[in-house]
Structure 1
């Protein structure tokens, strides 16, 4: 609320000052007849500003997700430019503002033209109004609670109107230099947070991929629901897990702008001030890095006895594309070396994917751990030009299975859980298919989300079976040339876009057959403890790195139901591993459990009792909050496999 209040107050005071000074001058000159046309100019400017704000908001809501992020980036850049200009202009003109306006009004009266007075009031208000619209729109898009932010803006504008009235009536004199310096500093803090938000939306729009590695872990400080979160996120624009690009943008804007605003009045700002601020910027970056390390702890090392293999994703594919390893636990560290063609790496045994890392855009890295037995395994980097596939040759002696009874119990429990969910999936899909084949569109729509829930809880298992996952769950843009589009989303498109089931009977039959195949495969499937940890992490990655955009259930907008299933599947798997983890690292176990609770609490807020609204109604701030909570959970979860290592 405070940022929007300050924006409304400052921008409103600027407009109120101009209008109040002109009105006061006219009253003193005995020209009350000229007040009416002046107020007409004010009213026209306000109406135009409100209309532009409404149009921008409607346009933002109607655009597809990526285009929304692009528009928000443009608005953010405009808002940053506006606040920078506003701060500089007011520092230079605040002292002489009253005299300048009185001279302009006197000249208009001498010319006998009331249209000049109308124009003065109109352009003064429309300039401040458009600045307010753009700046507030940018702030609302990043606010956790747009309603509260809107109330803050209204209160700020109301205070501004009161100040303007007091100036008009002669009841108050305002120290403009001091007022604009204080509010200017607050706006610098708000704008610095807006810079970080704009960098984030530029990445979401696909315009900026550099510097996307995690710079800090402030989750220990920016705790959702706490007063520190309200202050740091709401006021300063800090996020729990800022990237390098966001951090650099924040500091590089904040330091010179704050120095400019706080520079003593009457003392010329040196031309080399930006250069002189360099050491301060570096010092502030260092302080933030130290703060970011304060609660995050150290990354867990590779598990005891585990080998580490580093791989890179390139335009060619996997680098290297041929590996020779000894049997045993192996941690694969995968880094995207800057390619836009390849974003995932898989290790396969036959047609089954044992481990993978997905959604690694340029500059990002990730890892997974497997216990490999002697034999040949396939290496896959889909999308590569010359090294899309490779081979991993494992030699040496066979590795004995874990003799930890708690890990053995976890594996047994997971096998039972996966098969139970697969059986439930068949039951739910059968009901969904029956409605589709009966031509009952409304019934099919009501069954759609429920039919997907069991699948989303065990999705990593389905993904391990080659083409089975694409057959069941491919989105339209996932379908390769020459392949047929089948599965949930093919039917979803027909139900919501065409409001029809025409032609869907064969697709529905295939969907049922595919989930029955999945259920049959899970009956005899064996797992390693590492696969449980990898699968739990994979479910969180699904939400935080891809599904959060709303592209998964793009026709029905039932994404929140999918998210809950993904998180619940991950939490169930973690719960099976928790006894073994608690014996080895109780601090990590407690940290993960608390972060799961935070994510579940956020989902419960979005959909009380599991009754979720359309994801299209969930604003960007709520999406970002959810993504950050899941990302904050994924960080300690990434240590799970290593912490359980023998």
Structure 2
């Protein structure tokens, strides 16, 4: 996803003057957050401590992120930057490729996403182990908030199409919008009834309970033949019924957003590593079997999002684990890369994937073998991290 960093770097505003000092030592970087852009004063800096002074030129609260090369994991963020206010983000960055992005209104995908390069030699972890753990937890909470914020706006766009009767657009948006949820699914599961209401499959619903959420709408968008519906012809939802289920999904998604933005919300270091493990278990138990998206057959989209979420969680604690078991880190790096490359032969979230019902038995087995190869060492991550 970082195929053209030089091209991306040229997207900086022409009015943004490069800061040579910032490029040399990481101090004095400035960021102007506007309604449509996120102008950083330099697109490169030397490894070590970086300082971004973020000024908000919009009329709503904004955020600034430094993202890892995958565009998902948050290396550092400063939030609640009020209109006309300037706040500073200080991070200790390793050499590599990154992205900068601002998020006016603190929801959605953000604006002005631009390549940022850190050069030089690797730097040592800063602080004692507890301080490193605290930093990992802070960054993971920021990642969760970011994904749920994208889910809120994406779900609204999806439901607007669904309620307007534009089923073709809604079907196209269905798997990509769900990616933000699938990346952080263990978080939703930690809030009691929220995951069942948002994401239960029809087969998961106990007799007498109401079936709501994404998969209720999925069945309406991808109606099954009678043979796949217990022998009964599927009856499409009425306009009022569509509104009812859409309103429920909107309310539940907002409830998830409010929960992770609560001032007291936090995560423990073991919940991060267990989240990575749990996301691979989600792939093994649902996506690789085709049971998750039984009507749309978009299981590989979910697979990709689960895998991305697992890697973000792992990468967040990787350097701490490396100090304890470098061999485990080497194995996990290799097997994550291998499974990502294997899945990429079937497509991407941007271009689409092969539908699950078009996969051969041999292809499903190969994917399952790749998942199992990663799951086995990943299952030891928490024990090493907290041991």
TM-score (norm 1): 0.37
Cα distance in 2 for residues equivalent to 1:602 and 1:574: 19
Contact 2:287 2:300 in 1 (8 A): no
**Aligned residue among 253, 267, 275 for 1:515:** 253
The equivalent residue for 1:396 is: none
The equivalent residue for 1:573 is: 313
The answer to whether 1:623 aligns with 2:364 is: yes
The equivalent residue for 1:449 is: 175
**Aligned residue among 154, 158, 161 for 1:432:** 158
Contact 1:433 1:508 in 2 (8 A): yes
Cα distance in 2 for residues equivalent to 1:501 and 1:453: 25
Contact 1:421 1:458 in 2 (8 A): yes
Measured on the aligned residues, the alpha-carbon RMSD in Å equals: 1.6
Cα distance in 2 for residues equivalent to 1:489 and 1:530: 30
Residue deviations 1:139-195 (CA, integer Å, cap 9, x gap): xxxxxxxxxxxxxxxxxxxxxxxxxxxxxxxxxxxxxxxxxxxxxxxxxxxxxxxxx
Structure 1 residues 403 and 597, CA gap change in structure 2 (3 angstroms)? closer
The equivalent residue for 2:149 is: 423
Q: How does 1:518-557 map to 2 (within 5 A)?
A: 518-524=256-262, 525-557=265-297
Secondary structure at the counterpart of residue 482 of structure 1: coil
Residue deviations 1:73-106 (CA, integer Å, cap 9, x gap): xxxxxxxxxxxxxxxxxxxxxxxxxxxxxxxxxx
The equivalent residue for 1:504 is: 242
Cα distance in 2 for residues equivalent to 1:579 and 1:565: 23
Deviation of 1:403 after TM superposition, in Å, equals: 4.9
Structure 1 residues 499 and 445, CA gap change in structure 2 (3 angstroms)? farther
Q: How does 1:126-141 map to 2 (within 5 A)?
A: none
Cα distance in 2 for residues equivalent to 1:513 and 1:623: 36
Secondary structure at the counterpart of residue 504 of structure 1: helix
**Aligned residue among 333, 336, 342 for 1:602:** 342
Deviation of 1:645 after TM superposition, in Å, equals: 1.7
Contact 1:441 1:500 in 2 (8 A): no
Cα distance in 1 for residues equivalent to 2:154 and 2:361: 32
The equivalent residue for 2:384 is: 643
Residue deviations 1:500-526 (CA, integer Å, cap 9, x gap): 553211101110110110011111321
Cα distance in 1 for residues equivalent to 2:266 and 2:362: 41
**Aligned residue among 444, 447, 470 for 2:196:** 470
Count of aligned pairs between the two proteins: 245
Deviation of 1:466 after TM superposition, in Å, equals: 1.2
Cα distance in 2 for residues equivalent to 1:490 and 1:546: 17
Unaligned runs of 5+ in 1: 1-401
Deviation of 1:404 after TM superposition, in Å, equals: 2.3
Following TM superposition, where does structure 1 have runs of at least 4 consecutive aligned residues deviating by more than 6 angstroms? Answer: none
The structure whose residues are more often helix, as a share, is 1
Contact 2:158 2:177 in 1 (8 A): yes
Task: Give the structure with higher Rg (CA).
Answer: 1
Q: How does 1:257-276 map to 2 (within 5 A)?
A: none
Q: How does 1:222-621 map to 2 (within 5 A)?
A: 403-497=129-223, 502=238, 503-524=241-262, 525-607=265-347, 610-621=351-362
Deviation of 1:546 after TM superposition, in Å, equals: 2.9
Cα distance in 1 for residues equivalent to 2:185 and 2:202: 18
Secondary structure at the counterpart of residue 644 of structure 1: helix
Residue deviations 1:182-223 (CA, integer Å, cap 9, x gap): xxxxxxxxxxxxxxxxxxxxxxxxxxxxxxxxxxxxxxxxxx
Cα distance in 1 for residues equivalent to 2:353 and 2:237: 24
The structure whose residues are more often strand, as a share, is 2
Contact 1:544 1:627 in 2 (8 A): yes
TM-score (norm 2): 0.61
Q: How does 1:197-216 map to 2 (within 5 A)?
A: none
Contact 2:179 2:305 in 1 (8 A): yes
Deviation of 1:561 after TM superposition, in Å, equals: 0.3
